[in-house]
Amino acid sequence: MPGVPSGFEFVVHGEHVEVRHRGRRAATLRGAAAHGFLIDVERADPQQVMARVTGQYKRGNERAAHRP
């Protein structure tokens, strides 16, 4: 399905969380942000959560909608 986030993964390194997209580091979360992220991943769709954290959720049809 187009527009559905995929290719995300995360790795916990002690006190911080590294979010990767297609094998490349997209974000590093520390402290409260890392803790909140781990809670959100358990409660919601992990791919959606990681897309929001990295800012990759705005890469779909909204670009086409702005074209004349």
pLDDT tens sequence across 16-48: 999 999 999 999 999 999 999 999 999 999 998
- Under the banding of pLDDT at 50, 70 and 90, the label for residue 55 is confident
Report pLDDT for 1. 46
Structure confidence at residue 6 (pLDDT)? 80
Quick one: pLDDT at residue 59? 57
Q: Is 20 exposed, middle or buried (0-12, 13-18, 19+ CB in 10 A)?
A: middle
Both tokens assigned to 63: 């670009």
Can you give the pLDDT at residue 7? 87
